[in-house]
Amino acid sequence: MLLNKKPEIMSPIKNWASLEACKDYADAVYFGVSDLSLRARTNSLTLEDIPKFVSKCHSYGLKAYMTINSVIYNNNLKKAEILVKKAKQ
């Protein structure tokens, strides 16, 4: 039996301006941070931005999902751990 669930519209976000552009159209956003992203040159969000950025998303009624779009090698494990802990806050 199919439930009448509305699909969620999720928009990729690379910076504060792109959040403003989609806030009225998306149900959720996903983003990466410059430290661990294969698209580091296009992502202007930093680890320090996460709390304020997610708070802003929530104030617009948007769900916020952080992605790690990168291969994590041994030399980046600590950085990945810090990133995940920061996102969890």
pTM given for the model: 0.79
- Chain segment 4-33, per-residue pLDDT in tens: 788 899 999 989 999 999 999 999 999 988
| 79: its two tokens | 């950085």
- Chain segment 49-75, per-residue pLDDT in tens: 888 999 999 999 999 998 887 788 888
| CA 39 vs CA 10, 24, 72: distances in Å | 18, 25, 14
